[in-house]
Amino acid sequence: MSLTNSQYDSIISEYDRKRARKEREYQERLDLVNERVEGYSELGRQIAALGVSSARALLSGQMDSLSDVNRQIDELSQKRKDLLVKAGYPEDYLTVKYDCPDCQDTGYINGAKCHCLKQAIISVLYSQSNISKLLKSENFDTLSYDYYEGEDLNRFRAAASAARSFVDNFDKDYQNLLFCGTVGTGKSFLSCCIAGELLDRGHSVIYFSAVELFEVLSSAMFNNKNADEAYKTRSNLYECDLLIIDDLGTELTNSAVVTELFSLINERHLSHRSTVISTNLSLDALRDRYDDRVFSRIAERYEMYRIQGPDIRMLKRSGLAKNRKE
């Protein structure tokens, strides 16, 4: 599954609009400061003139002169910062506040796609807009323990703690998670919490229900007319920073599905790319439904958390939802 030219152009156009808006906002702030802070614009003109002198010294190889010019630029720049702060503005007031500071809203870093552009492409390709809607209501800020009691509460606390730890250590520790248990107890909710936090931190995330995932994989598998498109689809799934498979076991399972699942989780493990799986199946049911290779990979390489309790979705629909958060 690859982008059409119009889809790519639309994404890049949005980057152009974002960058232009941020730079326009910066220019408006600069004009305001130049107007209200006495001496600020004059220091800017002096720095610009020294910049020309610096370029000339560099071209002529006058390194001593270059060092002296750069020292003067640093001194004048510090004076400008001091003027800005003294006038009551934040020190970073005249910093362009890009949505993605890494690529400065260009989508590229040294000719390679930035993580933000990769995620934008993923969102278009795999209709991940639905997860964006979910994240507004299903995130760590809305996490509640009120629906659990006794051992169920202890189990959910442990799973929620593991989800937070997974996010906090994502950049330094390779880990996979399996949330299993009864329907409506918070497994998908915790998966959404993880997805939202990692998206906010600039990681590429693909979130699929098991049914959707295997439809995409099957489409790629039998796409004999366009091998390149099939390769790109598989590459996205195999190489994204985090893959979330929700409701494993709800898909129509056959030998091809089992083979694809093993290949996916095994290759992601070999490349140390994390995967989060949620399922209503028990471990015994997982073993019976999938072959020993799949079960052994999950048993060996995933931290497992069983969540039990009432069906929270049903409680909310019946108007019995609670409001207190912890």
- Which two structure tokens, joined as six digits, stand for 86? 């003294």
Would you give the DSSP letter of residue 290? S
Q: DSSP for 59-80?
A: HHT-HHHHHHHHHHHHHHHHHH
User: Which residue ranges make up each domain of the chain?
Assistant: 5-86, 126-317
Mind listing the pLDDT tens digit for each residue in 223-280?
A: 555 566 667 777 888 888 999 999 998 888 788 888 888 999 999 999 999 999 999 9
Mind listing the pLDDT tens digit for each residue in 40-77?
A: 888 888 888 887 777 776 666 666 667 777 888 888 88
Mind listing the pLDDT tens digit for each residue in 270-325?
A: 999 999 999 999 888 888 888 888 888 898 899 999 998 887 877 776 665 554 33
Q: How many CA atoms lie within 13 A of 36 on its CB side?
A: 12
- Third-level CATH fold of 126-317: Rossmann fold (3.40.50)
- Provide the whole-model pTM: 0.68
C-alpha R_g of the chain: 26
Strands 112-113 and 108-109: antiparallel
Helix-strand-coil percent breakdown of the chain, rounded to 5?
60, 10, 30
Residue 240 Ramachandran class (φ > 0 left, ψ -120 to 50 alpha, else beta): beta
